[in-house]
Structure 1
């Protein structure tokens, strides 16, 4: 992965057809997805259960772009190696999920993956100041993690701007996850985000038999985001 700040759309396969993941991943990539976002939830750190390492390993052969694995689990450290072996390109852990985020990020990098750190809506940017030099990505949650389809929390736009200021000229992606649509994408991009996670906004109305709808949805988000950057 070479670093650049171009707008990247990362559809969340939590919104895909669970009986057809391989075809869904191939469809979104063919229709313009830059990354594939995998939401891992444990029913403990967040109120939902999704994928474990075997599922991620099953997705891997279908992902030709970047597999962006977001661990909403606690504890995180015992599972890093398994998700790395499963084929994650990026592993993102939550600063709130354990007492030693610096150790967690070191472990992700030692496992051969890019290291991301995530902030819940109620967590201040200051929580990551002392690890900003060992991360490759900062993920700002613009909904409370656990479920897809939630409404965007407007206060997180200012948080994205503060993360962008903290990042400065470091090669660190700023990703936003939650309620991203053609309406909200321009707000977070104008504040400094370059990676946009979208679930229902990408998959709504489409299917593996009608993948062109995925393409139209991805283009609508990208065009709105790029217009905000130009504007």
Structure 2
């Protein structure tokens, strides 16, 4: 989470990033300019929100004529890995999926074999996993398991 995401668009675009996700909490004053700049550098704009931020704060960024293309729901406080998954954040995922059926919804924080089904069944179609993959004795198995959960949930929705 950076305090001035505009400062990072140019260097990340030059480095070849395909997407750029910024926190809604740090971008309330300039998110339209930020989204435009991200798109102008050929990247997909996304917005992230912390657990304590109401989901309604991202709606203006989705309902705008120049919307973000992905919402990242944080299921832990940003800053360090290994935190416990907050299942109550799945209400935000469900609300987004209901209101925006084709939106990319990403979930980050505490995801692993024991929590992936909650996120996938709530409507998340993009998953960020760190500790559960890198700390596993068989990382490939964990990745396969989580991918299958998301794919299976999308087939039934």
TM-score of the pair, normalised by structure 2:
0.89
Match of 2:78 in 1: 145
Structure 1 position 160, deviation (Å): 0.5
- SS of residue paired to 1:218: helix
Taking the aligned partners of 1:226 and 1:116, their CA distance within structure 2 comes to 21
Taking the aligned partners of 1:121 and 1:112, their CA distance within structure 2 comes to 29
Structure 1 position 225, deviation (Å): 3.7
Q: Does 1:91 align with 2:24?
A: no
Q: Which runs of 5+ in 1 are unaligned?
A: 1-71, 207-212
Q: 1:81 to 1:185 in 2, by over 3 A?
A: same
Residue 104 of structure 1: which of 26, 31, 34 is its match?
34
TM-score of the pair, normalised by structure 1:
0.62
Counterpart contact for 2:87–2:118, Cα < 8 Å: no
- SS of residue paired to 1:122: coil
Structure 1 position 189, deviation (Å): 1.1
Structure 1 position 121, deviation (Å): 0.5
- SS of residue paired to 1:155: helix
More relative contact order, 1 or 2 (CA 8 Å, 6+ apart): 1
Counterpart contact for 2:5–2:22, Cα < 8 Å: yes
Structure 1 position 226, deviation (Å): 4.0
Taking the aligned partners of 1:222 and 1:75, their CA distance within structure 2 comes to 33
Match of 2:148 in 1: 223
Structure 1 position 143, deviation (Å): 0.4
Q: 1:175 to 1:83 in 2, by over 3 A?
A: same
Match of 1:48 in 2: none
RMSD: 1.7
Taking the aligned partners of 1:214 and 1:110, their CA distance within structure 2 comes to 36
Match of 2:116 in 1: 185
